[in-house]
Structure formats: structure tokens, C-alpha cells
Amino acid sequence: MPTDLLDELQLIQSDSTEIEERFYKDLEFGTGGMRGIIGAGTNRLNIYTVRRAAQGFAHYLSKKGETATQKGVAIAYDSRKYSREFACEMATLLAHTGIKVYLFPDIAPTPLLSFAIRHLQASAGLVLTASHNPPEYNGIKVYNQDGGQITEEDAQSIYAEIQAIGDPLILPAIAWSTDSADERIISIGNEVVEAYCQQVELLLHQRALIEENGDSLSIVYTPLHGTGVKVIPDLLKRVGFTRVQIVEEQATADPRFPTVKAPNPEEPEAFELALQLASEKQADLIMATDPDADRLGVLVKTGTKYEMVNGNQLGAMLLYYLLGQSAVKGRTIQNGLVLKTIVTSDLGEKIAESYGVETLQTLTGFKYIGEKIEECCSLGSRTFVFGYEESYGYLAGDFVRDKDAVQITVLVAEMALYYQQRGKDLFQVLEEIYSKFGYYREKLHSLTVAGKEGREQMEESIANLRKNPPEQIAGYAVSVVEDYELQIKKVMGTGQVEPLFFPKANVIKIILADGSWITVRPSGTEPKMKVYLSTNSPYNKEQAEEKMLLLQGALPDLIRFS
């Protein structure tokens, strides 16, 4: 047993609560793969739980036949603690069972893994990451041959294989070697990164404008100690943005993430060093990516200060820009399709509708957007335009099937430059969008529920809401209750019940008569109850904000923890 795990076990040997927390269950495996705290225990991520997951995945893939094993598995990893070690462990075990492996030789963004699967025509992909979680976390995300995250059916099959293995301590430890003795482990070369970058360049609408005026936009970028530094700065400069400043203190891959509380571009605190540099350089735009570079956060200079753009706002602006550029160039988007999650603002749907483009909603999680792209667009019957979710995930080019902060940094820079040349900053563009389509406000409340007891309270709370849905909230009548666990939609005024054609999920969405809504769901990857709120007003932002305050005030009565 590794020394660090043995030391942990000795430290907790007299702590019954800690022992129960670490061993009361196996680390769960779902459509998002596995994610957990690094450490000793069956409910922790360590060399044994990783080895068990790898063996289970190997059995799953082998049952698909020789073609699947020979097409192989692409593996990537980020800058987190043990990400490389876990990736090498999985690569070695898969190769030992006769499965071809394509392994990134260094840290790489998750969207590059998605692209590599498609480019190499692999059967599947694995990435070692815990995205934007605190440094004590790591995880394994699993991708299918389309480059999207696995479906629920696949996850159940893999989990069944993992459970069938039993005691992970008896699995063989296979020594990792850096030489090329095992021809089944193939290093992913720069040609894959180059092919990806070429696809990103094809997304640009204003290449000539960038070439002529790219030096007029000053950009500060921070990878937050993650993988984005490997691709994003060079890609921005490659397309013509020459004034790119990197936050040097955060440019080094460091699993401790020492300069931030959490490496999450959704949190304003993550931008402190970037703001200092931007103020010094008088930058126009600040961009930050999380450790695996699938999420993007943006701050925009407005006058003498910088304002943060939230995920709903940036998604709406990008959609408005992309559709507008197609219209300006006279491009008709035949059977266009925009995809968003059920907890993402409805503003994007209004924008798409004005251009004759349909919007489809999916469950929360970008994996569902990836699935819908394959379902609707693979046969050429639909044209994918854009997909996004409120949690800072966006996709414009379907050569990747997961959220992709790398391609979006380039598009955000292009968009900012385009409007800059017309005398506008991005918040002025946002105001223009609001004036056309209505004012929207969104909030997310995350209620942390640590440990086994907390999760039980969370489940009890949502069960009570399901059993007794409200007829009114903060003085506003409830129009519709959508229950994704029961897969029904109930019209409150008439009692009419209609089916919901979504996969089953423990989510309840309460829609008010004016179109405002509250959505409640337990997080699938974190010990949190997430409550999403959205309000709108056709007249002014003050009215939308007033509604938001009323809904927030009603939450304690709506969501009760004993």
C-alpha cells in the first residue's frame, strides 16, 4: 500500500465518523464518471479505486468486441494532484488487457480529448480531472466514440463491471514504463493539436478584421494553474490577437492552485490577480479558464472598471453575435438548432427565434447537449449553431462534443473586437439585447450538505417538494410544475398532466405565470442542493430584479432542511 494512504489510515484509526465517511459506500460512478476527494477509503479516489475503475472499463469495452479494443481509447489528464499518475495507471492496465491506448504526453484540455477521440476514430476516451472543484478533488470522466460523455445506459454497464470486480486491493499492480516497449500505448502528437486549431480557425467570422485590427484589443488571460496555458495563448496570437498578457503567477500547472480559493472562473475571487494585471495594462478583456479548460469566465472593461459577465449573459451575447454574423453575410441557416439546458436562461431561445432558429432544451449537464448534437445533426438533417449552459460552458463547433473554453476564448475575443470597432463594449451589446428581447435575471443558490446525513436531508427535502408542490410563490401563481423524476408536467390551473420527453432525473422545475421559474436539483458531482432562479420583464431591469428578490425571499419556505 502506498505510504500516503497508509499514513491516512493510521491517523483516522480511532475516528469512527471519519472511517464511516470514507468506507460507508463505494465511490459512485455515473454519466459524469467518478469524482471524489483524494485519499484512503472506498469512498475516495486513490490508486485502488482508479485501478478498479480501469479494470471495469476494460471489461466493458472488451465486451464490445475486438474492433472496439483495437480502435482504442484516448486518455488525457489535467494539472490536478495524481492526474498524471492515475492516467498512466489506467493506460497501463488497459494496454495490459489488449486495448490500444492513445495517451497525451502532457496535461491537455478536456475539449482536446473530445476532439482527439473523433480525430483518431477511437472507441472511447478518459480524462483525469475534477474540473473546477477544490484541490482535494480529482475524478475520471468517460467519453464515447462520438466524443461526448457517456450515456446513462453506458454508465450503468460500466458501473456493473466495476462492482463485479470486488476487492480492488487484489488487482495486479502493473509497472509503468516511459519507454515504448508496449506498442499498444501511443503518444498523441502535435498533429492532433494542430488539426484542432485549424477547426477553431474555421469558426471565425471576421478573420480579416482580426488581421487588420487585432492589436487594438488588449487581453489578459489566466489558466488558473491549469491546462489552458498549453493551447489558448498561442491560439489567440495565431489568429491575430497580438496583445495577450498571461497572469504569470497562475501560468504554472500547480495541483495546489495556491493563488485561488478554488480554480473556478464562475467565482469573482478567481480573477483577483488577473484584475491587477488588467488594471496595470488597461486591458479591454479578461478571460479565465478552469483547470481542464472546458469552462470560461469573462470580465469586460466598462469605463474605468471591470464587470463580470455571467454564463447566461455570455451565452446570449455569443448566440446574438453568431446569428447576426450569419445574417450580415447573407447566410441562411437551414434547420438551425440551438441547444441549452433547462436551468439556462430563456433569453437565448428568444434570440434564436428572431432568426428563425429552433431551440431545444436538455437536462442539466453538457453531456445531454453532446447527445442531442449527435441525435439531431449526425445525419445532416439539422445544422448545429450553438450550445450552452449557465455554468460557463459553451460550444460553437461540433468537432468537439463537450463544452469547450478553448474555442470560445477565440470567439469571445473576435466578438469583443468586432463591437469595439463599432464603439461598443460587451455590456452595451447586452443592453441592446435586453432592449430587444426583454430583461432577464438569473441566480444560483448552492446549499451545501456535507456527509451522509446531509445528503439524506437533501433527498428528503426534494421528496417533500415533489409531494407537495406550491400553488403560489412570493405572490405569483404557479402555472406549471415539471417533474423530471416522474417525467410529467402538471398544469396547476387545470390539473392536466402531460408527459415530459426527457431522461429521468431528480429535478423539479416550477414555472410561474409570468414565465419566471425556480428549478431544484441535487448536484450529481458535489454535496450540494442547487436552486436556480430566473425572472424576466419586458420593460426594465429593475422589475426583473424586484421579482428576483421576492423569489429569493421565498426559498426558505420552499426548500426546507430538517
Question: What is the Cα–Cα distance from 168 to 47, expressed in whole angstroms?
Answer: 9
Q: What is the dihedral of CA 44, 46, 52, 55, to 10 degrees?
A: 140
> Bridge partners of 37?
137
Q: What are the strands, taking DSSP E only, across 47-168?
A: 73-77, 101-103, 124-128, 137-143
Residue 92: other Cβ atoms inside 10 A: 22
CA distance 365 to 386: 15
- Angstrom distance (rounded) from CA 184 to CA 392: 37
**Cβ atoms within 10 Å of 260's Cβ, excluding its own:** 22
CB 413 within 8 A of CB 525: no
The rounded distance, in Å, linking the Cα atoms of 315 and 297 is 11
C-alpha span between 156 and 164 (Å, rounded): 12
CA–CA dist 513, 474 (Å, integer): 12
Choose the catalytic residue: 79, 123, 131, 345: 131
**Cell numbers linked to 91:** 493506460
Q: List alpha helices for 97-201, DSSP H.
A: 110-120, 152-165, 190-201
Q: What are phi and psi of 536, to 5 degrees?
A: -150, 160
Measure the CA–CA gap between 356 and 336, rounded to whole angstroms.
Answer: 8
Residue type, 315: G
CA dist., res. 90 & res. 128, Å (int): 10
Residue 246 burial (CB count, 10 A): 18
In a 10 Å sphere around its CB, with 0-12 CB exposed, 13-18 middle and 19+ buried, how is residue 187 labelled? exposed
131 is catalytic: yes
The residues annotated with a catalytic role in the active site are 131
